[in-house]
Each structure stands twice: as C-alpha cells, then as structure tokens.
C-alpha cells in the first residue's frame, strides 16, 4: 500500500446515514445524524445531553490548508500522513485536562476512531477568541508598521519581534460575516474590542453580558493549563485560537463550552523552548509549513496579498510540492502529538475502511443502501 493510500484526503463521501447535506470545511466534514440515530445513541451510550439533542459525526482529514488554500504533494499525496490523528489526539488531551481542572466541557461526546468525533450540536459564539503571549506573526507585522492598538488594547513602545508580552492578550475577531453591528465591518475575521462585545453581546450570540467575563476566564485558564503543560515539555505556547458555544446537558442546564479544536499545531504557535532561549525560533506547528511556502515560491506576495487570491488558488492547484516538505510536516505533527499525549501515534493503513467498519459494527450508522 502506498503512502498516499494511508492519507485521508477526501472525507465527505462516507456512507454515514444522514438526511442533511454534508458540511465539508477545509479540514473536517460534518455528518448530521438522523433524529432516530441521535436519540438511539444518546440512550445506548449514556451521553450527558438532552434526549433530543442533534448529534453529528465529525471526520477529520489529513488535508493541509495554508493561506486559505489546500495544498498537495508529489506522488499523489493529498494530505499530511498522521496529521488528522495528531490534531484529534492533541485536542482530546487538552479538553480532558480542562475538565480535570474544572473549567468546562467540550462538544465532543465520543472518539470512535482516531480521525472521528461524535459531537453534540452547539450554538456557537460568533468570535474567534485569540490568546497571545508573544508578539509575532500578523501582530508583529502591524506593530512594525506603527500600529499600537489591537482590539482596544494599547501596546507599549519598544517591543521586539518574538518577545514575550507583559501579559496574555485577548484579541478576538469576528467568526463569519456579522451584520448591523456599529463600528464593526461586515467581513469575516475582523478584529473587535471588548467594548464591541459588551455593547452588542446578543449579536455575537452571548446569552448575557456576564458570559463575556466567563469566556475570557475560560480562555485565560485554558491558555494557562496548556502553557504550563507545554513548559514541562520545554515547549513555548505562543498564541492560540479558542472557540466557544452553548449546549444543554441531560439535566436541562445550559452551559458555555469549548468547541472546535484547541491547542493544536493548526490553531496555535508552539516553539521549541531550548531554541527560543538561544534566540532562535523553531516551530512545532503549521507555521513552519507557511514559512516553507513563503520561501518556496519566488513571489511570496501572492500568499500574503488577499487581492491576489485567484493567483494563489492557481498556485495551490497547479504545483505539487516536494514530498520531503510533506514528510517534514508529518514529523512535526506526529512528534508534538506524541510529546503532548505521551503515547505513540499509529498510522492507519486504510483509514476510510477502518472508519466505516467501526461506525457500522459499533454504532450502527452506516447506510446499507
């Protein structure tokens, strides 16, 4: 079996029983279960959700997205070996740690396979909640151009690239296009201030103003838990994205939870501690792949300039990247996952067939038509 066969590149064609269209994002596909299957599983598995809660199967692929494009490699490689399993394993590890620290639950109810989650439907808070402990990336580029205010927070003069910030900064942005909010452009991923949230909390899907404090507490405490755990592995937790939503438990209590993924090499920057102490940044995250792309193509502005998106999409479509770059990134993902979880990450021989067999035999969710 070739290496390409061990990669799950297409994840929206599984015969999972559903009455709704399959939602396929850059990396994950979501299959909403029928009401009958949802209610049956809640009863059979004892999930702590309302008896009529909608459930979904979320299948993560090994696809690699960067600069809003999906990339492929030589030899028919349409994903990074081990990437999906690494992301799920890391998220599961942090979500479990959050529960142990009494923070909050997540949307995940079950993990039938390393590439699969069973999740409950959550009402998302419409913000990308970014926590930053170091100044780098887009914030550093803006700071270098003279910007000093970010999401209503003013940074001091004299900061240097990759320097630790005086405190953890929370710099939220919009999740999707939100309309009719004064002072907030109707576009995805627009920076917003805490005052924007307070003045328009219902537009961002918060239930009450107090939940703004709650989300910030969950972000800060979640960041601290991950940061301390990574520090014990001599890794630096630089910045990350959190997402939040509301669910109702079996007792009818609504609660704010963590959702999506958390603390992964896709949603975070993680640096090697020893290298950082010697003035060098070694990425244990997808950022290393972004840097590879910027160095690989002669005109990096295509990747950075949103007005050149058609050229960028053509670049991703028409260029098979060196297999060595994909394998380097595979080692980054699997290496950091094994370091964080303390467990080896086995590579599936035929991931799609394994997923179908488990969801059929153990969950009764495969459509036999």
Provide the whole-model pTM.
0.93
Give the pairing type, strands 69-73 and 320-321.
Answer: parallel
Can you tell me which residue has the tokens 């050149």? 308
Domains, in order of start, for the chain = 3-122+342-361 (3.30.200.20), 123-266 (3.30.470.20)
Whether the CB-CB separation of 88 and 114 falls below 8 Å is answered with: yes
Q: Where are the alpha helices (DSSP H) in 173-320?
A: 194-199, 210-231, 273-277, 287-296, 301-304, 309-318
DSSP E strand stretches across the chain? 23-24, 28-32, 55-60, 64-66, 69-73, 108-113, 116-120, 123-124, 127-134, 149-150, 153-154, 164-170, 173-174, 235-248, 254-259, 268-272, 320-321
Reference 121, options 53, 62, 213; nearest CA is: 53
Q: What is residue 1's predicted lDDT score, i.e. its pLDDT?
A: 61
pLDDT along the chain (369 residues), means of 10: 83 96 94 97 95 96 94 94 96 97 97 97 95 93 90 91 94 88 86 92 95 97 98 96 95 94 93 95 89 95 94 96 94 94 88 95 88
Residues linked to residue 129 through DSSP beta bridges, in sequence order: 242
**Cβ neighbours of residue 260 under 8 Å, at least 6 residues apart?**
107, 243, 267
């Amino acid at each position: 079996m070739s290496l390409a066969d061990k990669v799950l590149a297409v994840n929206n064609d599984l015969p999972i029983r559903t009455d709704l269209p399959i939602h396929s994002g850059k990396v994950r596909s979501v299959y909403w279960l029928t009401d009958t299957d949802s209610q049956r599983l809640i009863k059979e598995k004892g999930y702590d959700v309302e008896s009529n809660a909608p459930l979904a199967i979320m299948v993560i692929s090994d696809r690699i997205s960067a600069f809003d494009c999906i990339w492929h490699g030589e030899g028919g490689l349409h994903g990074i070996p081990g990437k999906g399993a690494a992301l799920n394993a890391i998220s599961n590890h942090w979500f479990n740690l959050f529960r142990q620290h009494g923070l909050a639950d997540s949307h995940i109810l079950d993990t039938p396979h390393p590439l699969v989650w069973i999740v409950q439907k959550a009402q998302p808070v419409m913000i990308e909640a970014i926590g930053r402990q170091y100044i780098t990336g887009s914030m550093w580029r803006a700071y270098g151009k003279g910007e000093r205010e970010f999401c209503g927070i003013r940074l001091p003069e004299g900061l240097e690239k990759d320097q630790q910030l005086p405190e953890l900064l929370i710099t939220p942005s919009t999740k999707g296009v939100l309309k009719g909010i004064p002072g907030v452009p109707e576009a995805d991923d627009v920076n917003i201030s805490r005052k924007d949230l307070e003045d328009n909390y219902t537009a961002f899907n918060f239930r009450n103003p107090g939940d703004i404090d709650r989300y910030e507490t969950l972000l800060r405490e979640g960041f601290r838990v991950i940061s301390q755990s990574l520090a014990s592995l001599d890794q630096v937790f630089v910045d990350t994205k959190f997402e939040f939503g509301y669910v109702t438990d079996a007792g009818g209590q609504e609660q704010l939870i963590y959702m999506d993924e958390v603390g992964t090499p896709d949603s975070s920057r993680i640096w090697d501690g020893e290298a950082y102490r010697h003035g060098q940044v070694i990425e244990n995250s997808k950022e290393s792949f972004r840097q590879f792309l910027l160095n690989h193509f002669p005109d990096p502005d295509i990747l950075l300039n949103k007005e050149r998106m058609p050229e960028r999409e053509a670049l991703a479509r028409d260029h098979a990247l060196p297999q060595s770059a994909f394998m380097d990134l595979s080692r980054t993902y699997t290496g950091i996952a094994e370091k964080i979880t303390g467990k080896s990450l086995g590579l599936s021989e035929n991931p799609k067939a394994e997923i179908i067999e488990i969801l059929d035999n153990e969950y009764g969710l495969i459509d036999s038509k």
